[in-house]
Structure 1
Amino acid sequence: MEQETKREKVHHVFQKIYKRYDAMNSLISFNQHKTWRRKADELVAARPGDHIIDVCCGTGDWTMSLAEKVGAAGRVVGLDFSDNMLKIAKMKQAANQFEHVQLVNGDAMDLPYEDASFDRATIGFGLRNVPDYLTVLKEINRVLRPGGTLVCLETSQTKIPVYRQLYFIYFRFMMPILGKLFAGSYKEYAWLNESASKFPDQKTLSKLFEQAGFADISVRSLMGGIAAIHRGIKA
C-alpha cells in the first residue's frame, strides 16, 4: 500500500471509531490491554520530572498514566494525527486536571520537536498503523536524549501452532463482526485486523529498533506472543 494511501485510510478509521474506541479495546482484548499497558509502564520506569512523549497517543490512556508518574514537575506530550481521538484525550486531561500534559495533533513520521527533547518515549498500538515503521522509530530516536528509553506496546505474531491459527481467525472474522455489532464499524475493524496481520514479528521489530539507533533492546512477549513490549535505549 502506498504510504499516503495508508495514511488516509488509517486517518479515516480513527476519525470514525473514536467514540467507541476505548470500549472496543476492552471488548476485543478481553480487557487484557490494560494489564499489558501496566507491564509496559514498568519498563518505561517514568520518574518525577521526566519529559515524555507518547506517540500515536489515541484517546490518551497511556498519556494520562505517564502524567501521574512524572508529576507536575514533569511534562508529557501526547501526539496523534486524529483530532477526534484527541477530543477524548482532552476530556481525560480535563477530568484529571493535568496542566503538565500537552495534546498535539501531529505526524509520527515527522515529529515537531527538536533533537534530544525527551527523556522517554512510548507508542502503544500505534506503530502498526503508520506508513513506515522505521521512519517513525528513527524520529522517536531523534527526539530522545542520549540514554533515553523507548517502550513500544504492540500486537505481534505468535508462533505457537493452532493458537496462531485461532488468533488469526479471531482477528480476521470475529473482530470485524464485533466492530459492526458494538460500534457500527465493520470495515474499520477489518482494517485493524489487516494492520495487525502484516505487522512484523518480535525479531523483525527488534532489528528495526537497531536500525533506528537503539541499543540494549529487550522484548517481553505477552499471551503467547499475540502482543509484545519492545524496549530500547538511545545510544
Structure 2
Amino acid sequence: MPQPFAQADPAAVFRLFDRTAHTYDLLNDALSLTLHRLWKRQAVALLQPRPGERMVDLCCGTADLALLLAERVRPHGGVIGVDGSAATLVLARQRAVAQPWLPLEFVHGDVLALPLPPGTADGVVMAYGLRNLASAAAGLRVIRHLLRPHGRAVVLDFNRPSHPLWSQAQRSYLRRVVVPVARMLELEAEYTYLERSIATFATGPQQETLAHQAGFAVARHHPIAGGLMGLLDMKVSG
C-alpha cells in the first residue's frame, strides 16, 4: 500500500506545523472558503457526541474540533486534544482559556506514542492528521486502543478522487491556488508537500480495510465535497 509523505520523518511534520501555526487558521479559511468548518461539523455529526462522554481529538491543531466536541459533552464530559506541534497547542490553549466553561485539556505528543490508557474515550476524532502520521495503519490501531466498547471514531482528511476529472481538479487547486498563496506568505516549502501526501495516501476502500484490520467492527468511508475530501466512520463492537 502507498505510504504517506510523513513516514520518512514524522518530526518534520511537527516542525512544519510549528512554523505555520500563526497562519494556519487563516489559510484554512481562505483556501477552503471556510468550508473546512462545515466538513468538521459533518465529522462531529457522524461521531454523535453526547453529554457526559469522554472524547479525544487527535492531531487537534488549534482546537476547532475539540471546541465543538466540548460544547456537546459538557457539563460532565470532557475532551482531550492531542498534537505534536507545540506552537499550535499554544493557540489551542488560548482559545480554551477564552471559554473556561468548556471541559478541555491538551496533551503535547506524538499520536503514535500516547501516554493514554486503553478505553480512555467514548469517541475519537482526527482531522487532517492520519495522512501525516508515520503510519496510517498504526494510527488507526491507536484510535481503536483508545476506545471503549461501543466506541466510535471519525477521521476527516483529503480524499483521492477516483474520477480523473476530479483528480485533475484537485491537483490544479493545489498547484494554482494553495502553493501560490503559500508563496506570498513565504510558506511555499511548507505547503508543497500537500500534493505528494495526498497522492500516496490510502484510498477510501484501503482506509476501510485498514480500519477492519485495526479491530473496528464497522468502517465506512464517505466521500464529501465532490470526492475531494473524505470521512472515515468507524465503530467498535460491544
- Assess same fold via TM > 0.5: yes
CA distance in 1, matches of 2:117, 2:142: 10
What fraction of aligned residue pairs are identical, expressed as a percent? Answer: 29
3-state SS, counterpart of residue 145 of structure 1: strand
In the alignment, residue 82 of structure 1 is paired with which amino acid?
Answer: S
State the shift of 1:169 in Å. Answer: 2.1
State the shift of 1:184 in Å. Answer: 2.1
Residue of structure 1 equivalent to 2:46:
43
3-state SS, counterpart of residue 65 of structure 1: helix
Given candidates 152, 165, 170, the residue that maps to 2:155 is 152
Correspondence 1:17 to 2:20 = yes
Specify which structure has the bigger relative contact order, considering alpha-carbon pairs within 8 angstroms and separated by 6 or more residues. Answer: 2
State the shift of 1:26 in Å. Answer: 1.2
State the shift of 1:81 in Å. Answer: 0.5
Alignment of 1:1-235 (within 5 A): 5-98=8-101, 100-181=103-184, 183-235=185-237
Contact 2:147–2:236 (CA under 8 A) maintained in structure 1: yes
CA distance in 2, matches of 1:121, 1:113: 13
| Poorly superposed stretches of 4+, deviation over 6 Å | 1-4
CA distance in 2, matches of 1:5, 1:173: 27
State the shift of 1:215 in Å. Answer: 1.6
State the shift of 1:173 in Å. Answer: 4.3
TM-score, length basis structure 2: 0.93
**Structure 1 stretch displaced more, 196-205 or 16-25:** 196-205
Contact 2:6–2:13 (CA under 8 A) maintained in structure 1: no
In the alignment, residue 189 of structure 1 is paired with which amino acid?
Answer: Y
State the shift of 1:119 in Å. Answer: 0.6
CA distance in 2, matches of 1:197, 1:24: 21
In the alignment, residue 192 of structure 1 is paired with which amino acid?
Answer: L
Contact 1:55–1:80 (CA under 8 A) maintained in structure 2: yes
CA distance in 2, matches of 1:198, 1:123: 19
Contact 1:160–1:224 (CA under 8 A) maintained in structure 2: no
1:115-145 Cα offsets, whole Å, 9 max, x none, are: 1111100001111111101111101101110
3-state SS, counterpart of residue 109 of structure 1: helix
Structure 1: give runs of 5+ residues left out of the alignment. Answer: none
TM-score, length basis structure 1: 0.94
Aligned residues: 234
State the shift of 1:6 in Å. Answer: 2.3
CA RMSD across the alignment: 1.6
3-state SS, counterpart of residue 217 of structure 2: strand
**Structure 1 stretch displaced more, 92-101 or 17-26:** 92-101
